């Protein structure tokens, strides 16, 4: 059994890593949405796990600006 402050310090590190990865993912999704012509704020829907698959589905089937140029 770990005692003292060592156990407390080890518990916070995974949470910090999780938050950093989470923020980077939201930022990347924001950039992707902005590039597709959608409001970047839609990336905040990824915070709620049930809405994330809907957001991905929206991105997969939406017309991108480059699609309009190809026609």
33: how many CB neighbours lie within 10 A of its CB? 21
Please tell me the predicted confidence (pLDDT) of residue 63.
Answer: 86
Whether the per-residue pLDDT at 4 is higher than 80: the answer is: no
With 0-12 / 13-18 / 19 or more C-beta atoms within 10 angstroms meaning exposed / middle / buried, residue 43 is: buried
- Give the largest Cα separation in the chain, rounded: 66
Contact 43, 29 (CB under 8 A): yes
Domain boundaries, the chain: 13-70
Q: pLDDT by residue (tens digit) across 6-56?
A: 555 567 788 899 999 999 999 999 999 999 889 999 999 888 889 999 999
* Phi, psi dihedral angles at 16 (to 5 degrees): -65, -45
Please tell me the predicted confidence (pLDDT) of residue 22.
Answer: 92
Please tell me the predicted confidence (pLDDT) of residue 24.
Answer: 95
Please tell me the predicted confidence (pLDDT) of residue 3.
Answer: 57
């Amino acid at each position: 059994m770990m005692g003292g402050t060592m156990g407390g310090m080890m518990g916070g590190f995974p949470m910090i890593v999780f938050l950093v990865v989470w923020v980077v993912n939201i930022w990347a999704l924001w950039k992707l949405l902005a590039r597709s012509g959608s409001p970047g704020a839609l990336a905040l829907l990824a915070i709620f796990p049930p809405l994330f698959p809907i957001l991905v589905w929206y991105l997969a089937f939406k017309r991108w600006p480059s699609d309009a140029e190809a026609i």
